[in-house]
Amino acid sequence: MLIEQLKRSFGESLFKSAKEPEALQVAPSDVAVETALTFPVGALVSLAKVTVNAGPAGGAALLSDVAVVRSGEVPSSAVSSLQTDNPSITFSGLIVDFQRLRTVAAIDTKSAGLYAVYPWAGTGFSFQTPLFTADGSGGVASVKFPETQTERLLLVADSAELSAQAAVALPAPPADLELQVNGKRVWSRPGPVRPNGKGAFFFSLDVDLTAEVQAAVSAGATKVTVSLTSSTPGSLSVSCTPQFFRVATVAFPEGDARTVSSNAEGRALLSIPLPAQASTWFVHEIQMFATADIGPMRVTPAQGPDSLSDLQLILDTERGLQVQLPPEALDAYDKLLGVRVAVNAGNAGAEVVGLLCANVPGPGSAPDDPTTGATPGEPLPGPPLGPLSLPPGGSASTNTWVSLLAKKSRKLTKATPLWLSLSVTRGSLAIGVTARGATPAPPMYIGTAASPLQAMRTISEIAAHGFGAALRLVGESAAADPIPALQAWIVGTTDVVSFTPSSTGVIVVLAPKSAVFLQRSPAFVAGSLQIALLARLAGTFNFSAVRVIYSTS
């Protein structure tokens, strides 16, 4: 008997408050929260950073939210040890089953009188070490006790039922956090959260779910729900302000694809029809699918060089042109087929033929510099370029690009210059002349194989680094570093993309460094977005599956 009294006294002195504790204030306590994100159909999600906040509830949780309450037996020995001034009280046992380990610190029944609280000890309740026992003044509605981790509590009360507002204090932070996107688990953090000192939150973390949210949108969802769950109740919040772009799929009135054809190398336009409201768009990217049935032939440069309008070089049967083709231009090709020349045959027409000649290095030139002071050598074996018969050209100031091609292409050797020799066999011919203002022009000579060569004179006020001939090279690009067939950019921008369409198609992405506001852009003409194309060969190019990625602010 003395031992039982000592146990009871020990329990009373350790766990019983000197005065009745204040009623627990029920604070928001969750095991799951969510936020809904809304997107337009087909949106491209650029950023979906989810902010997870978690911490202890800060108050009490409703008992019905975190536990199952059922009746339980109280041993008579435990009842007899309770002190009460009213022996007629009928005690009821209520088991609060958390169904997992919980850290508890207080119970508030809101109405029923509590006379004892016993913790679970693994295989049964520990009646020898109660968390609380009432004194002789009667039961209390609310009790506090030192934090205890337990799976269950046995309440001895004067009522067989608890109020729906009964609460329990759970001071431990949430644990085992998980994030779900539309019900699919995408992120987890095992164990209880720990304070990380982010602002006013006990625990705060940013989680990048851009790929997961984009996958949900790509699957057709316009509403994406991001859920945060915890294995233990607490103060939880999840938020996200996604960044995304809208997508407009272009429909061509003529069919699935728009065709751009060119009879020669040079510039063309691809017109992308857009709805009327597109004038307020900020275009961030254009995606399209390009197809073409083309070979390895390329022409460089595809545009230019520009001829001087008031200066031409006249060739006739007594006067030819010898111009060096430098290695930096030839090395882009594996094989050379010929040249394109800007010419005017005048009122009578002309006939011209070309030859490829060896390079003779200048006196004292370095082995790694075969161009300085060089002169044309003997014609190389193989078919000539041409001959080409030219009809009358009309205006003396208008040049036309013509092709001088060999019947068989010539394999080229790296870092080896060649010379082009042009001879007029009938009539006279005007060759376009270019001014080299930044880099020295390749050497040019006037004359033929039968007459002395004269260096092309220059005029420093017009061409500080000499005059050049308006020439373009025609050949097959090097397999190791092929020359792209096309370049594309949004009109008004300088962000150029190079690509080569194929019969199976390639994806082309135009992404200007700064968004293009169509209302103020020269690219937006008559309700269409203009894409500039620069083709390095003649051909027919098809563009389909065009998508415009844009925002409205």
DSSP secondary structure of 160-205: SS--TT-EEE--SPPEEEEEEETTEEEEEEEEE------TT-SEEE
Average of per-residue pLDDT across 530-535: 98
In the prediction, which pLDDT does 4 show? Answer: 42
In the prediction, which pLDDT does 358 show? Answer: 94
* Whole-angstrom distance, CA of residue 429 vs CA of residue 316: 6
Report, at the CATH architecture level, how domain 2-26+61-169 is classified.
Sandwich (2.60)
In the prediction, which pLDDT does 466 show? Answer: 78
Q: Which residue has the higher pLDDT, 231 or 85?
A: 231
In the prediction, which pLDDT does 537 show? Answer: 96
Work out the pLDDT band at 22, boundaries 50, 70, 90: low
What rounded mean pLDDT belongs to the chain? 88
DSSP 26: B
CATH 2.60.120 fits 250-294+485-551, yes or no: yes
Cβ atoms < 10 Å from Cβ of 279: 14
In the prediction, which pLDDT does 366 show? Answer: 64
In the prediction, which pLDDT does 227 show? Answer: 96
Whether residue 16 is predicted with pLDDT greater than 60 in this model: the reply is: no
Q: Please tell me if the domain spanning 2-26+61-169 has the same topology as the one spanning 250-294+485-551.
A: yes
The answer to which of 76-80, 188-192, 299-303, 389-393 has the lowest mean pLDDT is: 76-80
| CA-based R_g, the chain, Å | 44
Strand partners, 150: 102
Work out the pLDDT band at 224, boundaries 50, 70, 90: very high
328 contacts: CB under 8 Å, gap ≥ 6 = none
DSSP secondary structure of 330-392: HTTEEEEEEEEEEEE-TTT-EEEEEEEEEEEPPTT--TT--STT-EEEEEPSS--EEEEEE--
- In tens, the pLDDT along 166-213 reads 999 888 889 999 999 999 999 999 999 999 876 677 899 999 999 999
Report CA-CA distances (Å) from 273 to 52, 216, 316, 348.
43, 29, 51, 46
In the prediction, which pLDDT does 529 show? Answer: 97
DSSP secondary structure of 254-286: TBSEEEEEESSSEEEEEEEE--GGGGG-EEEEE
User: Sign of torsion, CA 152 154 160 164?
Assistant: negative
- In this prediction, what percent of the chain has a pLDDT beyond 90? 63
10 Å CB burial of residue 353 (0-12, 13-18, 19+) is middle
In the prediction, which pLDDT does 372 show? Answer: 72
Work out the pLDDT band at 25, boundaries 50, 70, 90: low
Average of per-residue pLDDT across 261-283: 96
Residue in this structure with the two tokens 């014609």, named with its chain if needed: 379
Report CA-CA distances (Å) from 433 to 387, 470, 504, 537.
21, 6, 41, 23
Give the residue extent of every domain in the chain: 2-26+61-169, 36-59+174-244, 250-294+485-551, 299-477
- In tens, the pLDDT along 339-363 reads 999 999 988 899 999 999 999 988 7
Whether residue 61 is predicted with pLDDT greater than 90 in this model: the reply is: no
87 contacts: CB under 8 Å, gap ≥ 6 = none
Strand partners, 371: none
User: Sign of torsion, CA 110 112 113 119?
Assistant: negative
Work out the pLDDT band at 3, boundaries 50, 70, 90: very low
* Whole-angstrom distance, CA of residue 150 vs CA of residue 122: 9
Average of per-residue pLDDT across 304-330: 90
- In this prediction, what percent of the chain has a pLDDT beyond 70? 89
10 Å CB burial of residue 79 (0-12, 13-18, 19+) is middle
Whether residue 397 is predicted with pLDDT greater than 80 in this model: the reply is: no
In the prediction, which pLDDT does 539 show? Answer: 96
- Label residues 98-129 b or e (16+ Cβ within 10 Å = b): beeebbbbbbbbbebbbbbbbbbeeeebebee
In the prediction, which pLDDT does 525 show? Answer: 95
For residues 135 and 12, the answer to whether their CB atoms sit within 8 Å is yes
- In tens, the pLDDT along 488-510 reads 999 999 999 999 999 999 999 99
Average of per-residue pLDDT across 291-295: 95
* Whole-angstrom distance, CA of residue 543 vs CA of residue 520: 26
The answer to which of 21-30, 99-108, 248-257, 393-402 has the lowest mean pLDDT is: 21-30
Cis link prior to 379 (omega < 30° from 0)?
Answer: no
In the prediction, which pLDDT does 5 show? Answer: 41
Whether residue 137 is predicted with pLDDT greater than 60 in this model: the reply is: yes
In the prediction, which pLDDT does 83 show? Answer: 62
